[in-house]
Amino acid sequence: MSLTEDQKAEIAALRGQSAATRRATVPALEEMLYTATPVLDHGFVRVVDYMGDDAAVVQAARVSYGRGTKRVSEDAGLIRYLLRHRHTTPFEMCEIKYHVKLPIFVARQWIRHRTANVNEYSARYSILDREFYLPAPEHLAAQSSVNRQGRGDVLTGHEADEVLDLLRGDAMRTYDHYAWMLNEGTDGEPVDPGRQGLARELARMNLTLNTYTQWYWKTDLHNLLHFLSLRADAHAQYEIRAYAEAMLQSVAAWVPATYAAFNDYRLGAVTFSGPMMAILRRMLAGEAVEQKGSGLSKREWDEMMASIGGGA
C-alpha cells in the first residue's frame, strides 16, 4: 500500500485533532482512528468514525438510563447471552464508518451485503489511479475440482509466470487506453490539444476489474458482524477475507466484549441441522452410523464429520 504525501499529511492532521465530548469513546479505537491498515498490495481499511461501545449494546438491551452496569463482567455476560440467542437489535445501536480501498472485483462481491450505507469514488467525476491488484504467488491457484466458486492447487513455474504477466499486461494496456481516451493531464488540460477526449463515464468501461476503487462504508454492529461471519470465514474468497480480517482488528479494539462473544459463538462455532443432531445423538449413544442410510447427502455427511473432527 502506498499513500501520497498529501494523504499522509491529511491523516496526521486528523489524528492531531481532539475535542471534549460527552459521547462514549473507546481509547483503543481512538488510537486506530484514521490510520490506514494495509490490505493486499495497494489496498487499505481505516476507521474514520464510530458511535457507541459495548455499554451501548447493554444499555439498549436493558433500555436503561445509564451505560450498563458497574461490573464489566455482568455486561459481558449479557452480551454473550444476546449473541448466543441471536437477539440482534441491541447491536444495531452501534455504528462504524470505514474508508476502504479495494479492487473493483472485490467491491462487486462486497456490495452484495445490502445493509450498509455506501459512497464509492466516482469515475464519472474523477480519474482512477493507475493501481491494480496482482495476486501474490501463493494466492494464484487453479479452479477447484470440487467447488465451483473456489480455488484448487496453487499454480507454479512457467504457468504461474505467464498468468501474472497476462494480468499485469492487460491491466497496464487497458489503463493506457483509458488514459489515451481521456486525453486529460493532471492539471485537467488536454494532453493533446488537437484531440477531444472521451467522457470519463465512457472511458472507464475499458478498465480491468483488478483496478482499485475506494468507498466509504458505514454500517451498524449487527450487520458488520454478519458481514464478518461470512467474509472472515475460511471458505470466503481470499481477497475479501483479507479485508474482513483487517476489520476484525478494529472490532476487537472497539467492542472487546462483543468481539469475544462473536469469536466464540460465530467464528469459532458450527451449526448442525436437525437430522445431523439426530445422528450425533445416535453416535453418542454408541451406535455405529454410516453415511449410507443416514438420510444425509454425502456433502452434508462430510461437513458434519469434518466439524466434529471425524474426517470425511
Q: Judge whether 231 counts as a catalytic residue.
A: yes
Cell 492539471: give the residue: 187
173 touches 207 (CB < 8 A): no
- Identify whether the C-beta of residue 95 lies closer than 8 Å to the C-beta of residue 62: no
Q: How far is CA 213 from the centre of its chain?
A: 15
In eight-state DSSP terms, residue 15 is H
At residue 103, φ and ψ (nearest 5 deg) are -65, 150
Task: List CB contacts of 88: < 8 A, sequence separation 6 or more.
Answer: 82, 222
Q: Which of 231, 241, 281, 282 is catalytic?
A: 231
- With cell 445423538, the residue in question is 281
* Chain Cα centroid distance, residue 147: 22
Q: Look at the alpha carbons of 31, 246, 112, 178 in this order and tell me if their dihedral is positive or negative.
A: positive
Residue 44 phi, psi dihedral angles, 5° rounding: -160, 165
How far from chain centre, in Å, is Cα 194?
A: 45
Task: List the helix and strand counts (H, then E) for the chain.
Answer: 12, 7
Catalytic residue IDs:
231
